[in-house]
Amino acid sequence: MTRRLFGGGGLEPQLRADEYRLLRDLVSERLGLWFGPESRGSLERRLRDRLAVRGVASFADYYQLLRFGPSAADEWEEAAELLTTHETYFFREDYQLRAFKDELLPMLAERGKTRRRLHVWSAGCSTGEEAYTIAILLLESKLFEGWDVRVYGSDLSKRCVAAARRGVYGPTSFRVTPDETRRTWFVPAKEDREAWSVVPEARALCHFGQMNLLDDERTHLVGRCDMIFCRNVLFYLDASARKRVIETFYERLVPGGVLLLGHAESLLNVTTAFELLHLEEDLVYQKPMTAGAR
Amino acid sequence: MTDRATVAARLAEMDPEARRRAAQEIPALPAPESCDLLLRALGDADWRVRKEAASIAPRVEPRTAVVFAVARALGERDAIGLRNAAVEALVLIGPDAVPGAIDALGRLDADGRKLAVEVLAGAPTLAGIRALVSALEDADENVVVAAAEGLGQAHLAGEEARDLARVALVSTLEGKSLVVKLAALQSLRSLEVEVPFAQLEPMLGDPLLRRPALAAAGGTRVPRAIRALAEASADPLPSVARDAVVALGRSIEEAWGEDELLEVAAKTLRVSPPARARLRALAGDPSDAAARGASILALALVRDPDDVPLVADALADDAVADRAEAALRLFGEQAVEPLLVAGRTAAPSLRGATLSMLPQLAPATSEPLEAVREALSDPSVDVVAPALKSLAIVGGAADIVPVARHVGSGDPKVASSAQAALVAIAARHPAEARAAVATADPRGDDALTAALVRGAAASAGARQPDDASFLASAVTHREARVRRAAIEALAHVGGEDAVHAVTFSLADEEDVVAHAAIRALGTLRRADQLASLAATTRDPIRLGVVLRALREADAERAFAAARPLVRGGVAAVAAAAVEVVGATNVAARVDALLDATDHADHEVVKLALARLADTKDERAFVAMTRALEHASENVRRYAAEVLGHVAGQDVEPALRARLDREPSAEVRRSIMAALAARSQGEPPS
């Protein structure tokens, strides 16, 4: 049961239940992000300041603005920033990265030795830590020297993508990064004594772009990928958005291409189009070798 | 073209991917071949093929034959994959599968009956819940456990079903089987049934039943039970203590505001250092929101000032921030000093959150206000904006100038917070505010501050003769935000000069200014002018603004202008018209809103349904149940949700009738949630 016992300070606009349903559906339709019945307070908190900035008196007016307003496109950018979660760090979920490094990369190196091309997509890359982690692991493996190697990073948030391009990170991004790895692949940032900057060699592999994963036009810009990382993103999407995003991934992967999800995510009840690939430390999804491009 | 032979041949291919794709073709085949091939695919050696077959089962016809054929597969003892896939297919088929599962329950072996029970739990209907209650008497314990677990879904089948399940499960607690009791406790928890504490109390001594019994006691308002939960928070086993804290948190929420009940928990926790240590550990763990939120509330009952920083930290956690705020309010003034200390060293976002709390906890003239004032100089916008919001509540005349420095900030959040704060303070201290901007030039850099102050003072009843001329000059300022502020101020000043200046601003090149002018005409009650604008405005966004302004000026004329537009082709106009119509008290508004439920744009339909729900009119209820049949899944889902919260005896049968026919799993889920909300007596919202 959803309760709202405590309320806010009283002076600021409150998000009524009917407003919440409309706004929640609109956010889901536009961004694919799902807010359940327990998330009314969260949506209210995240968007409340936007009402003051836009000079609207209620969430109903804000809904109208997002739906029909002349500045709706700009406002969606702001709303997306506030509604997405940006929490991430380098070398997150190490067991999966070990599987990537020790099992998947040798497999892809063997499979692609004629074409000598490896494209990896970090979908929902936030501020870029995952994309650079992938680039570092690719470089450390030394399996792809002389290949056409690219790591694409995409995120819904414009600010996150800008931060990813900057490639400068503070201590919290390195919470599980071994010191030696940091010294090898990062240099002290010029502008901040506590921050580190990604070395040019890793930076050169990474290409970042702003992208709504529900936007076919944008996702086609990524091209065909050998591997897609989409970790801790599906969790925030509603069922239909999840289905659409996974269909996009299927379509963007080459036959035999691999999809890696977060440890708490699966394709159960989403699609049966992928095969399960059992690795020593992980289970990943693979587009069947016999599946052609659709 | 799909034919049976082709699909059958492809289902026999070696490649599982080819077989999976063949399964997708089955619904296009005629009966009875489709049914045969469905069963073959459900029994495929590859899980992907079985899963695909289950997912397409709801589209295979004729449904009754499919249901009974698939239900027969529940008895295939040696084909585990087929049996599991059959369960999944039947659950996806939904209420239509229930007769097949009930039939299977009466004739299969224990394993088959357990699977039939799983189907009944997965597609809950009243008839299915009755069958599950009967299955509690099954000779096989596994079937009984599955039935007890399944009854935890009874709320999704409506009030009567929930009641049947409640009675049956509570009586099961008197039985001897431990596993059945465990399942029953879990289900009673899912149903949010309050089990009499006298029945739970004996279980607290049983190591296996202690945790589920504590969880089941959560939400209780019985003093003895609350004491038991508080005591169990000190349990040496972390998992038991955690569950006790979560349960205690639910009870604290239920008893919020009832000091005597809360004191029962507080007293117990105060004398138990291990319980408080556990609460502190959980309050600091951001990975467990349920336990964190509950422990924060419990710590607030104890009111040890040393715990304030821990509670304050939680202000930055979206999942528990509302509980942290409530807890700090309970600490009251006691929390101020620790909050100030915490605020000095915290990250900007947390520092901002603590600043937001200070005015609610401390008198306006004390040291905390100084801390808020100092925060105006902070380099982070995450600190400055909350400080400005706090000053909007408690700021005095001395704050006018420091706040005014931020009204032109390049950061929109800071600028809007500063403007709101300046307006609030100026309305409280009009003379001092006017003095602060006495020398302002209406065309100069300080015109924004002056316009805001003059508008605020006028709204507080402190008008000056030169207000209109100053502001009329400011509406020609080079900056749009000054022009907008001047127009909004003129709306409060009133008079013919104000109307004249505002009217010319309708031609402003910036939408934001022109829209402010329209709204100002509403505040100035210029109904004729707005009605005329409504008749001539073509731009849909602008027309929406006009209609809303006209509503403020004259609700009946707004209704007359908006009424013909609710079915208009442009969604933006229709949405605004629906909103205007819905906000009036004109008797004919229900007819107008009913018309809007036929609009081609789904968002307009949903808006109309939302407004209809407010009218409490019988025809509104009919329209909402009709919307359950709408072609758009989105509208059907929305209608179900609204119906979950409106009063009326006929709502449940309408929802249930649609549930039996609804093809979309998403909508079915919403209907079941609506039925559950009704059966749990959630208040209309």
B79 class by beta-carbon count within 10 Å (0-12 exposed, 13-18 middle, 19+ buried) = middle
* Segments of chain B scoring below 50 in pLDDT: none
A82: closest chain B residue by CA: B318
d(CA B500, CA B503): 5
Q: What's the whole-number mean pLDDT along residues A64-77?
A: 87
How far does B318 lie from chain A, in Å, by closest CA?
A: 6
If one counts every other C-beta atom within 10 angstroms of the C-beta of residue B405, the result is 13
The pLDDT of residue B269 is 97
Measure CB to CB from residue B606 to each of A2, A22, A291 and give the nearest one: A22
Interchain pair A9, B645: CB under 8 A: no
d(CA B454, CA B488): 10
A48 at interface of B, judged by CB pairs closer than 8 A: no
The pLDDT of residue A7 is 53
Q: What is the residue-averaged pLDDT of chain A? A: 88
Measure CB to CB from residue B575 to each of A7, A21, A64 and give the nearest one: A64
Residue B144 contacts residue B177 (beta carbons within 8 Å): yes
A288: closest chain B residue by CA: B17
**Residue where the block lists tokens 């006209």:** B550
A292 at interface of B, judged by CB pairs closer than 8 A: no
How far does A139 lie from chain B, in Å, by closest CA?
A: 33
Instruction: Map B317-383 to HEC letters.
Output: CCCCHHHHHHHHHHHHHHHHHHHHHHHHHCCHHHHHHHHHHHHHHCCCCCHHHHHHHHHCCCCCHHH
Q: b/e map of B307-320 (b: 16 or more CB within 10 Å)? A: bbbbbbbbbbbebb
A55: closest chain B residue by CA: B416
Q: How confident is the model at residue A131 (pLDDT cuts 50, 70, 90)?
A: very high
How far does A236 lie from chain B, in Å, by closest CA?
A: 14
**Which residues neighbour A164 within 8 Å (Cβ) at sequence distance 6 or greater?**
A125, A126, A127, A128, A131, A153, A155, A206, A208
CA angle B507, B510, B514 (to 5 degrees): 50
The pLDDT of residue A270 is 83
A290 at interface of B, judged by CB pairs closer than 8 A: yes
Q: What is the pLDDT of residues A76-87, one digit of tens each?
A: 989 998 898 777
Which tokens belong to B251?
Answer: 């009870």
Residue B154 contacts residue B185 (beta carbons within 8 Å): no
Find chain B residues with C-beta within 8 A of A21's C-beta.
Answer: 606, 610, 638, 641-642
B316: closest chain A residue by CA: A45
Find chain B residues with C-beta within 8 A of A290's C-beta.
Answer: 15, 17-18
Half-sphere exposure of B76 (CA within 13 A, CB side): 18
d(CA A47, CA A79): 7
How far does B278 lie from chain A, in Å, by closest CA?
A: 24
Interchain pair A21, B641: CB under 8 A: yes
A16 at interface of B, judged by CB pairs closer than 8 A: yes
Q: Would you state the torsion angle of the CA atoms of residues A92, A96, A97, A103, taken in this order, to the nearest 10 degrees?
A: 180
The pLDDT of residue A2 is 41
pLDDT at A3 over 50: no
Which of B681, B664, B602 lies closest to B635, judged by CA?
B602
- Identify the H or E element spanning A229: strand A225-230
Which of A213, A209, A172 lies closest to A194, judged by CA?
A172
Find chain A residues with C-beta within 8 A of B416's C-beta.
Answer: 49, 52-53, 55
Interchain pair B326, A1: CB under 8 A: no
d(CA A27, CA A76): 9
d(CA B188, CA A246): 37
Which of B110, B97, B89 lies closest to B40, judged by CA?
B89
Find chain B residues with C-beta within 8 A of A53's C-beta.
Answer: 412-413, 415-416
Find chain A residues with C-beta within 8 A of B354's C-beta.
Answer: none
Q: How confident is the model at residue A294 (pLDDT cuts 50, 70, 90)?
A: very low
Measure CB to CB from residue B638 to each of A9, A25, A41 and give the nearest one: A25
**Which residues neighbour B40 within 8 Å (Cβ) at sequence distance 6 or greater?**
B8, B11
Interchain pair B638, A21: CB under 8 A: yes
Interchain pair A68, B420: CB under 8 A: no
Interchain pair A42, B319: CB under 8 A: yes
- Identify the H or E element spanning A187: strand A186-188
Chosen for mutation from A2, A4, A6 (greatest number of chain B CBs closer than 10 Å) is A6
A11: closest chain B residue by CA: B393
Interchain pair B413, A45: CB under 8 A: no
The pLDDT of residue B355 is 81
CA angle B231, B232, B237 (to 5 degrees): 140
d(CA B477, CA B465): 21
**Residue where the block lists tokens 């008497």:** B137
pLDDT at A292 over 70: no
How far does B306 lie from chain A, in Å, by closest CA?
A: 23
The pLDDT of residue B681 is 65
Ordered alpha helix ranges (H), B506-539: 511-523, 527-536
The pLDDT of residue B4 is 86
The pLDDT of residue B237 is 94
How far does B2 lie from chain A, in Å, by closest CA?
A: 19
- B176: helix, coil or strand? coil
How far does A68 lie from chain B, in Å, by closest CA?
A: 6
CA angle B89, B91, B96 (to 5 degrees): 100
Q: Would you state the torsion angle of the CA atoms of residues B58, B59, B62, B68, taken in this order, to the nearest 10 degrees?
A: -30
Find chain A residues with C-beta within 8 A of B489's C-beta.
Answer: none
Chosen for mutation from A64, A71, A78, A243 (greatest number of chain B CBs closer than 10 Å) is A64
Chosen for mutation from B548, B603, B612, B670 (greatest number of chain A CBs closer than 10 Å) is B603
First to last CA, chain B: 51
Give how far the C-alpha of residue A207 lies from the chain's centroid of Cα atoms, to the nearest Å. Answer: 14
Which of A138, A189, A131, A188 lies closest to A161, judged by CA?
A131
d(CA B271, CA A101): 54
Residue A16 or residue B41, greater confidence: B41
The pLDDT of residue A109 is 95
Which tokens belong to B309?
Answer: 């920083």
Measure CB to CB from residue A67 to each of B360, B603, B641 and give the nearest one: B603
- In the DSSP assignment, the letter for residue A116 is -
- B61: helix, coil or strand? coil
First to last CA, chain A: 43
Which of B4, B72, B65 lies closest to B43, judged by CA?
B72
d(CA B2, CA A280): 41
pLDDT at A293 over 50: no
Find chain A residues with C-beta within 8 A of B518's C-beta.
Answer: none
Interchain pair B606, A70: CB under 8 A: no
Measure CB to CB from residue B412 to each of A4, A45, A53 and give the nearest one: A53
Which tokens belong to A246?
Answer: 């996974």
How far does B209 lie from chain A, in Å, by closest CA?
A: 24
**Amino acid found at A9:** G
B541: closest chain A residue by CA: A69
Angstrom CA distances, A222 to A163, A225, B75, stand at: 20, 8, 49
**Backbone Cα Rg of chain B:** 32
**Residue where the block lists tokens 């008197």:** B174
CB pairs under 8 A between A and B: 107
d(CA B303, CA B298): 9
Find chain A residues with C-beta within 8 A of B52's C-beta.
Answer: 272
Residue B373 contacts residue B408 (beta carbons within 8 Å): no
d(CA B46, CA B453): 73
Which of B459, B485, B461 lies closest to B473, judged by CA?
B485
B607: closest chain A residue by CA: A22
Which tokens belong to B417?
Answer: 């917070």
**Amino acid found at B574:** A
> Residue A227 pairs with which residues in a beta bridge?
A120, A258
Measure CB to CB from residue B318 to each of A42, A288, A290 and give the nearest one: A42
Helix (H) and strand (E) counts in chain B:
43, 0
d(CA B673, CA B665): 12
How far does A41 lie from chain B, in Å, by closest CA?
A: 8
**Which residues neighbour A268 within 8 Å (Cβ) at sequence distance 6 or greater?**
none
- B681: helix, coil or strand? coil
**Residue where the block lists tokens 């763990």:** B285
Ordered alpha helix ranges (H), chain A: 17-31, 40-54, 59-68, 72-83, 94-99, 105-111, 129-141, 158-166, 179-185, 200-203, 216-219, 239-252
Residue B109 contacts residue B145 (beta carbons within 8 Å): no
Interchain pair A64, B579: CB under 8 A: yes
A190 at interface of B, judged by CB pairs closer than 8 A: no
Q: Is the dihedral of CA B605, B610, B613, B617 positive or negative?
A: negative
Find chain B residues with C-beta within 8 A of A6's C-beta.
Answer: 256, 322-323, 325-326
Interchain pair A18, B642: CB under 8 A: yes
B573: closest chain A residue by CA: A68
